[in-house]
Structure 1
Amino acid sequence: MNPISAGLRISPVYTAPQRAADSSIGVQAPAATTSGNVTLGQTRNDNDGYTYPSRSTATTASYALEQDAVDKLSLSLLTGVQGASLGERVRGVGAALVEQLVLKGGTSVSQSALRYAAGAEPGAEAVKLRGDSLRHAPDNAISLSLTTASGATITLSLASDDNGLAVSAEVQGGELNAYELKGLATLAEGFQAAIDGLAQEPPSLKLDGLVSFDSNLFKSLQMNASLRTASGEPQVFDLSLDDKARNLSLQGPSGNIRLDLDTRDSSLLGNAGQRQAAIDNYLQQFDAAQKRGNGDKDLMNLFKDAFVQLNRVDDGRLAKEAVSPQGRNDRLLLSGLADFSASIGQPAKSVNPLLPGETDRFDYRVSQSTTAQGKALSSRSIQQDQQSSLDAAWHVGANPQVPLALSKDYKSQNYSYHEITDEAKSSTRLGFNKDNRLVEASATQQASQNERVRSYVDGVLSSETNTPKSVSQTRNLLGLLDDVLQRERISLREKGVSVLESLLAGKRDEWWLQGDPAKVASR
């Protein structure tokens, strides 16, 4: 038979070596088994004895590597290409790619593992061409790009389909020094965790290990993914981080989420207790909106995870002004979080053929913006606005024991149609004179809700109700804050202990965002 020259090629179905528990860079080549052996880096004939027994007598296949290698990356690819799901195929591959790039000192990396029908083993050139084709037109694509402080750009790419995995990594615009290589290595597991989360069904966001990159070494980070879900529908993820902004978006079958943080002004960041309290308050608002608008709980959990993880980046870089009396007083009524705008939405669906305008939908938006005027040694003020809106609608069957199945048959038209329209806003304002004395402290909370319900019996409208609620409260908080600051000064003078956070902890519901009119009225 004709000789075959190429990388590693195994037939029929190769049982890939299991990954070692040790995550260190580089692995030992697997020992040859009694049923065959693997020959690397030389010309082989079909009779060379590199055939492994099949795991199944019903299905046989061959596997080929683009490059001759027995390293952690190649073994991860050979294991992954046999996976039944996307999650199984990409497991460990992202981390191995980062580690291989670090091991090679930043020199380019390119490798692929491909599946072929038994007996259809290609030559080396055909393997390379197919690997390149997979990189250019994959079913699933994931990339990570980092810009170093010295100006070099690191790009890592993963591509896959049902019959192959291809990866590449390169450094352009400079070389990586030892510190940058070490910093890159620390992101390996974080990159893999992010990949694993997105490849799950349903997806999850696991970004903590990735977004906490060393900003002294890297100026920016971008991660992009375009994945095919189990249902065949696309899922697109984009993440971008630098010293000015953090942006995240996820578009998938269940809906879309987007979060944009403005990180240019770190002087408004609060202490850990203040920030956690603000996050908890926002999460309560998100949960209440999901429950009230009958939103998708899994999608809302993704939204919440994105909000927490992108804000958590600031926990390690709290502003220096946080320890100064002036900076601390500036943030008395603020959330302590970076300004942001965010949205979560589910695609509108027309589920009633008789009334197609009655769409099931969920759209929630929330934002925060802060404006500061004036400077130290002059009159100055700071204002923060928080706002949210909810637009949602859904159908509920008249008989909860019977699944709703609306059709053109009027006998199926027994249901109620719920529509929600809610808005909330909170504005806080602090004013100081030229002596840095607090002379103004006010808060206004507004919340309005309306639920419209139309009920039908055999397609005939039987009732319609509207339930509006609206509350607005404006409070003068100057006396409260004067008292809090006086008690803080006494504690610092007599005990050397700050009590500011504990004194404010139980009061913030009076000025932070509240979507429920009843909670605004009860304060």
Structure 2
Amino acid sequence: MTTLSSLNVATNLAADLTLADSVNPSVAADATNLSREAALSATASPSSIVTIPSGIGISVLETYTPEGVLSGAAPTVSWASDSNDAVTLRMKGDYAAQTMAGHFAGLGSALLDRFKTTGSDYAQSVSVTSASGVGGLTQSSSGPTGKIGLTVRTASGTTVEIALESEDGGLSVSIKSSATLSESERNALAKLSDGFQQAIDGLGAVPPKLDLSGLTQFDTSALASVNFQYSVTGDGDASISASYAQDSASRSLSVTSAAGTMSMKVDTSNSALWGTGAQRAASVASYLQQFDQANSRGHGNAALMSMFEDGFSQMNDDYGTASGQSLPGTAYAPWLQQSDAALLTGLGDFSASITDASTSPNPMRPGEVDSFSYQVSQTTQLAGTDQEGTISQRQQSHLSASYHQALSGGGKPVLTDSTASQNYDYMRIDDSAQSTVQLATQRGVLLNATLNQSSEQKTRDSKYERGELVSDVTTPKTASRSVDLRALLEPLIDNGDAARDTAEWQQKLTSVHAMILLNASS
């Protein structure tokens, strides 16, 4: 018995008829008769094999989309203005990139470099539309969106706004000024070029990083404030938003990502609190050590804490030029200003916090969350006049964390709905620390200088074996100390080392400064 091949006879016959007409009209009738006979044969003999001659050498019929547009046609790239300037050339290399970081590569610095030369407003954009009319070469309307802004206010009051945006495969940039800038203002703005791009590149990296150093050190004689905004949405775990603002009185930072959130603010309005560069560096280094210890103890997110530390370091690296303010009660002798400054951190007052995104890794006990939250701050109160006064500076920190830990090895347990997996320690941490310095001076005399420090650590360990709570233990740890700092300095004050500013005096100030820094485990 012969085999039947499934064929769409009508379709193939129509194709053959068309083929015959188009290839050789003189044989069209023969082809028609042949096709009719084949059709009758196929209908009369279901068990027969019907073979239709193939159309060798015939082009494949072009396909159209449901919208009536030719499928496979190249997308349309449209530019707002026909130009070959440096910014447009950069955009031509960026707009088709596969990542948001690629879309903005070198673009922020190119905009500011252009403004230095021309000083004029500027706008350019490119959009990509497929032949079907759908926007986006590599993205769809539901794809990620990136928006970056830099707003700079000059000392004369002029506002300059820079904007970059990537959406639906398109890319747009603009820069506009509320008034004409002077040459010095244009130069100061152009000096932000590298810093602006470094901030963009850092946040676009994997994992993201903070690089604000080029924005924190702007020329304050020409520029009054800087405000940086960065946002990538719709990009899953890569979505992130950040903002940084700085003027003569304060600096503030906030970051939100899939890993968690952070924020910090530094008050730079009173330069009397600013210590020497060495004192600030020592204080920052001590705080970074405290942050590392807190993150290790609370099992925090290492990448997020790294960003937090970078932000804290960069915001406290250099406050600019001091305004000549002095601490109360220090006018009678230069060594009083030195001693009082050494007994303080040398940092502007600040507040900072970091919170990791919480998770519930145990399906049998969803109420047990892995979490990490840490806050740290410094506040200073000054009272009096140049001749006499009091100073009180308080540093404090608080850590709240919880995490699951395997009974053996201390790593993360693999927790499932199975009772056999429920062998772990559920740890809860609650720590706090304070360090307070109080000073009083009067007519060239250091009346008193005291240090009071305290710390409290509380650890709760709930131990489970095969899902059963076998122990629940809370372990507290406290520490405190009080130090008469005046007594440590008095011998050097009495024998004249302080007045002569000897090496011994400076060494003593350095050692005392190290004592007053916050220590959560003291």
Normalised by the length of structure 1, the TM-score is 0.79
Is residue 300 of structure 1 aligned with residue 332 of structure 2? no
Query: Any gaps of 5 or more consecutive residues in structure 2?
Result: 1-71, 328-332
CA distance in 1, matches of 2:430, 2:486: 34
Is residue 92 of structure 1 aligned with residue 99 of structure 2? no
Structure 1 pair 207–501 and aligned structure 2 pair: CA distance change class (3 A): farther
Query: Any gaps of 5 or more consecutive residues in structure 1?
Result: 1-57
Contact 1:245 1:262 in 2 (8 A): yes
Identify the match of residue 149 of structure 2 among 143, 149, 152.
143
Is residue 222 of structure 1 aligned with residue 227 of structure 2? yes
Contact 1:269 1:319 in 2 (8 A): no
Determine helix, strand or coil for the equivalent of 1:441: strand
Structure 1 pair 474–449 and aligned structure 2 pair: CA distance change class (3 A): same
RMSD in angstroms over aligned alpha carbons? 2.7
Structure 1 pair 219–504 and aligned structure 2 pair: CA distance change class (3 A): same
Corresponding residue for residue 234 of structure 1: 239
Is residue 405 of structure 1 aligned with residue 410 of structure 2? no
Is residue 515 of structure 1 aligned with residue 505 of structure 2? no
CA distance in 2, matches of 1:383, 1:142: 41
Determine helix, strand or coil for the equivalent of 2:116: helix
Identify the match of residue 79 of structure 2 among 32, 43, 65.
65
**TM-fit CA distance, 1:319:** 5.0
Residue type at the aligned position of 1:190: G
Deviation beyond 6 Å, 4+ runs, structure 1: none
Give the stretch that moved more between structures: 189-198 or 391-400: 391-400
Corresponding residue for residue 6 of structure 1: none
**1:301-356 per-position Cα deviation (integer Å, ceiling 9, x unaligned):** 11110011011131654856499434323313100000000001112222223222
Contact 1:388 1:515 in 2 (8 A): yes
Corresponding residue for residue 383 of structure 2: 373
**TM-fit CA distance, 1:374:** 1.0
Q: How does 1:231-380 map to 2 (within 5 A)?
A: 231=236, 234-314=239-319, 317=322, 319=324, 321=326, 324-378=334-388, 380=389
Corresponding residue for residue 187 of structure 1: 192
Contact 2:281 2:317 in 1 (8 A): no
Structure with the greater alpha carbon radius of gyration = 2
Corresponding residue for residue 176 of structure 2: 170
User: How many matched pairs?
Assistant: 442
Identify the match of residue 444 of structure 1 among 442, 452, 456.
452
**TM-fit CA distance, 1:229:** 7.2
Contact 2:242 2:255 in 1 (8 A): yes
**TM-fit CA distance, 1:198:** 0.8
Structure 1 pair 222–455 and aligned structure 2 pair: CA distance change class (3 A): same
**TM-fit CA distance, 1:72:** 1.1
Contact 1:270 1:331 in 2 (8 A): yes
**TM-fit CA distance, 1:227:** 1.1
Structure 1 pair 85–486 and aligned structure 2 pair: CA distance change class (3 A): farther
Contact 2:279 2:342 in 1 (8 A): no
Contact 2:405 2:411 in 1 (8 A): no
**1:426-445 per-position Cα deviation (integer Å, ceiling 9, x unaligned):** 00111112x22001010001
Identify the match of residue 114 of structure 1 among 111, 121, 127.
127
**1:351-373 per-position Cα deviation (integer Å, ceiling 9, x unaligned):** 22322221110000000011111
Determine helix, strand or coil for the equivalent of 2:98: coil
Structure 1 pair 276–319 and aligned structure 2 pair: CA distance change class (3 A): farther
**TM-fit CA distance, 1:230:** 4.8
CA distance in 2, matches of 1:205, 1:446: 32
Contact 1:256 1:344 in 2 (8 A): yes
CA distance in 1, matches of 2:497, 2:465: 68
Structure 1 pair 402–341 and aligned structure 2 pair: CA distance change class (3 A): closer
**TM-fit CA distance, 1:223:** 0.7
Residue type at the aligned position of 1:463: S
**1:190-243 per-position Cα deviation (integer Å, ceiling 9, x unaligned):** 101110011111111111111111111111111111113753563110111111
Corresponding residue for residue 161 of structure 1: 167
**TM-fit CA distance, 1:416:** 1.0
CA distance in 2, matches of 1:485, 1:69: 71
Give the stretch that moved more between structures: 325-334 or 241-250: 325-334
CA distance in 2, matches of 1:359, 1:232: 20
Corresponding residue for residue 116 of structure 2: 102
Residue type at the aligned position of 1:422: D
Contact 2:342 2:510 in 1 (8 A): no
Q: How does 1:366-515 map to 2 (within 5 A)?
A: 366-378=376-388, 380-400=389-409, 404-433=413-442, 435-485=443-493, 489-490=496-497, 493=500, 500-515=505-520
Give the stretch that moved more between structures: 390-399 or 333-342: 390-399
Structure 1 pair 233–138 and aligned structure 2 pair: CA distance change class (3 A): closer
**TM-fit CA distance, 1:486:** 5.0
